[in-house]
Amino acid sequence: MYINGVLEQRKDQLIRQSLLSDEFLDFVKRNNIPFETLISYYRCAIMEVETKFKVLNEQYALRYDRNPIESIKSRVKSYDSLLKKIRKKNIPLTLEAIEEQIWDVAGIRVICSFQDDIYLLADCLLQQDDIKLIEIKDYIKNPKPNGYRSLHLIVEIPIFLQDEKRNVKVEVQLRTIAMDSWASLEHKLKYKKNLPAEQLEKISDELKHCADISAELDARMQTVRMDIYKDGNPTKYEDMPLKVPNLPVMPQNPLMGLLGDNQKN
Ligand code: GTP
Ligand code: MG
């Protein structure tokens, strides 16, 4: 009993002397800086891509009196989920490997008013000459078996630092309001895995059914919009002289040409 007490005391002393020593804390801090720096690059890349979407929204509002973007949500992957992904995918614990192999450290979710707006915005973004498309996954044309729909892009964008230019990857998810609300609810329910198998199957079927209804809702809202703006856009500002060259006028499927080699479902 006495021995155990002494051992505990010695252990505590050892931890304080070694793990909490100034040298060790300094070591942790020193190695933490490169990681924090890398994360700050992702924050910068998010700012760049977010601004691009805000500019497009602004220009579209001015020209067509309508905002294609309802809202934008951004996040840098949390430390916890980054570590989980490193473990799951067996990625080496180096900053280079994180940069090369994890493509969603920076994430932007653009919630659009109508389904066509998703393709319009993606098309406008991908036409910009500082954006490089790395991967595209069209879960709208090819929904996941559970019913999940969204357009996912992995893009690379340069950020300009004090003395260097770095290309940084960003994951962009574009969805309608209906797609987003379905995905949010499904995400919450995904964690309730401790239900009996039979009940889980019923819930999955029900969620798939809800996804089908939400897809139908998007299609009908799109038709209503087309009916209101017969040629795809209101004519109110049509004759206004534009400072920026023409936006594409509601192409039916602007990504058709891009989907080929990059589609990786
Ligand atoms: P990663 O290697 O992690 O990128 O896996 P992946 O490439 O197979 O995933 P994908 O690019 O298809 O999807 C990545 C992100 O899309 C997820 O982190 C979610 O935000 C979203 N997502 C994909 N599938 C679903 C789904 O079934 N439900 C919900 N709620 N979100 C999904
Ligand atoms: Mg992915």
Quick one: pLDDT band at residue 256, thresholds 50, 70, 90? very low
pLDDT averaged over every residue in the chain: 84
Integer angstrom CA distances of residue 93 from 30, 62, 194 = 16, 47, 32
What ligand has the least distance to the C-alpha of 142?
1
Q: Is 70 a catalytic residue?
A: no
Q: Which domain holds residue 128?
A: 31-177+236-259
Is residue 23 one of the residues assigned to a domain?
A: no
**Has residue 1 been placed in a domain?**
no
Query: Comparing C-alpha atoms, which of 218, 240, 219, 221 is closest to residue 229?
Result: 221
The verdict on the CB of residue 56 being under 6 Å from ligand 1 is no
Q: Which of 40-44, 85-89, 153-157 has the lowest mean pLDDT?
A: 85-89
Instruction: Report the nearest atom of ligand 1 relative to the CA of 144.
Output: 27
pLDDT of residue 249: 47
In ligand 1, which atom is closest to the CA atom of 184?
A: 30
- For residue 123, the tally of other CB atoms under 10 A from its CB is 18
CATH number of the domain at 91, please: 3.30.460.10
Judge whether 71 lies within some domain: yes
Q: Which atom of ligand 1 is nearest to the CA of 109?
A: 20
**Total number of domains in the chain:** 1
Element (H, E) at 165: strand 165-176
Residue 88 in any domain: the answer is yes
The 10s digit of each residue's pLDDT in 116-147 is: 999 999 999 999 999 999 999 999 999 999 99
Q: What is the pTM of this model?
A: 0.80
Q: Is the CB of 84 under 6 A from ligand 1?
A: no
Coil vs helix vs strand at 183: helix
Alpha helices in the chain (DSSP H): 2-18, 22-64, 79-88, 95-101, 115-127, 177-190, 197-228, 256-262
Looking at residue 27, what is its pLDDT? 58
**The predicted structure's pLDDT at residue 211:** 97
Q: Convert the pLDDT of each residue in 208-235 to its tens digit.
A: 999 999 999 999 999 988 888 765 554 4
What DSSP state is assigned to residue 90?
T
Which pLDDT value is given to residue 231?
56
Find out whether the beta carbon of 148 lies less than 6 Å from any atom of ligand 1. yes
Give the DSSP H or E segment for 73: strand 69-76
Residue 229 lies in a domain: no
Residue 95 lies in a domain: yes
Assigned domain for 19 exists: no
Residue 243's φ and ψ, nearest 5 degrees, are: -80, -30
> Residue 103's closest CA among 137, 72, 58, 70?
137
In a domain, residue 51? The reply is yes
Q: Which of 43-47, 107-111, 113-117, 249-253 has the lowest mean pLDDT?
A: 249-253
- Region label for 90, one of left (φ > 0), alpha (ψ between -120 and 50) or beta (otherwise): left
